[in-house]
Amino acid sequence: MNRSVTRMVTAVAAAGLFSFVLVPAASADSFLAVFQGTAPNGANTDFQYNLQFNTGSSTERLEAGDFVTIYDINQFVSATAPALFHLTTQALGINGPGTAPTDSATLINVTFVYDGPPTPVLVDSTFPGAVITSKISSAGAGVFTGQDTLISDGSKLGNFGRTIVPVPLPAAAWMGMALLGGTGFSGFLRRRKLNNAEA
């Protein structure tokens, strides 16, 4: 019989000025989409992200097939994956294990999938260069899920969090002051299954 253990971690970053993490649990482990800012791209706007993997005090690894999905991209144009990744786009999913994010079937989701090298990543790592291009420049709250791998038994772990995505006005108006300061945020809800023997 299994039981679920849930941890909540919130991370806030201010575009290179400062960053801090509030961690009620022992560590900030998972695979995150951390918003870095926007840049004009012709008539469109690039939404830029770092994909950030944390080992959870050396309990987790990143291996080929693990991923981050950013949901419900308004006015989607295209996306670019970082080195060592490929991407897929779809109307629903792909969801991290044990997660159930709000997901509109009428908007595109972008999934960044880790390809390798074959040796798993066993240290905290940041992969810059994930870009989503939209026809709109206004931004607001969105969600992501991620998947990585438990070192001890190879099981897949899921996480859920918040990031910044293209959002039409007026839905994005509440973020006006934050965006003027170049701020972003990311939070995630962590769910992990442990069997009774581990409890």
160 near 69, Cβ under 8 Å?
no
Burial pattern 165-182, b for ≥16 Cβ within 10 A else e, equals bbbeeeebeebeeebeee
How many domains in the chain?
Answer: 1
Residue 195 within any structural domain of the chain: no
In tens, the pLDDT along 18-54 reads 233 332 332 356 899 999 999 999 999 999 999 999 9
What pLDDT score does 171 carry? 52
Residue 85 within any structural domain of the chain: yes
Q: Give the other-Cβ count within 10 Å of 196's Cβ.
A: 8
Residue 142 within any structural domain of the chain: yes
Residue 28 within any structural domain of the chain: no
Task: Give residue for tokens 């859920």.
Answer: 160
Residue 131 within any structural domain of the chain: yes
Question: Residue 16: is its pLDDT beyond 70?
Answer: no
46: domain range? 2-23+34-189
Residue 199 within any structural domain of the chain: no
> Hey, which bits of 115-168 come out as E strands?
125-134, 139-150, 156-166
Residue 196 within any structural domain of the chain: no
129 near 86, Cβ under 8 Å?
no
In tens, the pLDDT along 88-139 reads 999 999 999 999 999 999 999 999 999 988 899 999 999 999 999 999 999 9
Residue 198 within any structural domain of the chain: no
